[in-house]
Structure 1
């Protein structure tokens, strides 16, 4: 059990953080995710089940509050060298622009984009985790990226 926690804690923590916008509640969701996971029987794919549990907890929370909000969708970078202040400013501005655009696209598109490009999962993994077909994942990704490009006023890939 401890191995599962240590192996998947960071990914589940980041995933929940990406979905919530409230770092104060992330620890509670992570804890509840692992508690529910440990009460399940044997599973083939631990990470898939953990993501499903976490997703359902977050959705239930926001459904109760009648609010669905998405957090800044950037994975934490652990770099050896500190970036230059100009680079940080430029990155921050670009990220804020992306967040605003992401907030304007459909939830299905956002979730797939988070898993594909932020969590860097394959189409097959995203399909498995979200219980979608691979075709749906590809369609949601294409439609989401098209919507983002349109909102951001860019023709190049996002």
Structure 2
């Protein structure tokens, strides 16, 4: 069964029957993705877990609300938009201004792979360091496209922008990222 069709079927079951099992399947499909999306923005495990739980609760409430005439085009677009808005609320209410963080590599693995993994971690750290210097809008669009691997259409739905605007913003963001990475490399 095609993944998107299965997703639509699960969403329909939740909307029509308040089906906990169907929502559980959606939860299993998205928990890691949403947690990663939130954690990258917060760099705090406990806060990321709390906000991720809140996102799923808000998603459940949205789906079971009496909006039967409202068709959800993309569940991923819906849940990422809820996650994004929940983060905005979190920053607004807590007056917290944090920059993106990155998960530490805990299990380095075999010694033969150690150097390669350290190099990759260094490169990722460098990119994240440079990404922090960019406007929040550019950071977000790069993370959604390349970390979360969302399509332009999904990003447009999450950000509530036209696909053309998303493409232009992504192009500008990548251009600035490349320039900043070049400057960073020339300093080393």
TM-score bracket relative to the smaller structure? 0.7 to 0.9
Q: CA deviation at 1:68?
A: 3.8
Equivalent of residue 76 in structure 2, options 33, 41, 47: 47
1:13 match: 35
2:100 match: 70
Q: CA deviation at 1:15?
A: 1.2
Q: Is the 8 A contact 2:76 2:154 kept in 1?
A: no
Q: CA deviation at 1:73?
A: 8.0
Q: Structure 2 unaligned runs (5+)?
A: 1-22, 184-188
Deviations 1:95-134 (A, max 9, x none): 1110111001111111110011111111111111211111
Q: Is the 8 A contact 1:73 1:114 kept in 2?
A: no
Structure number with bigger Rg: 2
Alpha-carbon separation, structure 2, partners of 1:39 and 1:142 = 36
Deviations 1:49-89 (A, max 9, x none): 21111111111212232414212289x9xxxx857111011
Q: Is the 8 A contact 1:48 1:128 kept in 2?
A: yes
Q: Is the 8 A contact 2:34 2:83 kept in 1?
A: yes
Alpha-carbon separation, structure 1, partners of 2:122 and 2:25 = 38
Per the normalisation by structure 2, the TM-score is 0.72
Aligned residues, how many? 149
Q: Compute the RMSD of aligned alpha carbons.
A: 2.2
Matching of residues 58-97 of structure 1 within 5 Å: 58-64=87-93, 65-72=95-102, 84-97=113-126
Q: Which moved more, 1:92-101 or 1:65-74?
A: 65-74
Q: Structure 1 unaligned runs (5+)?
A: none
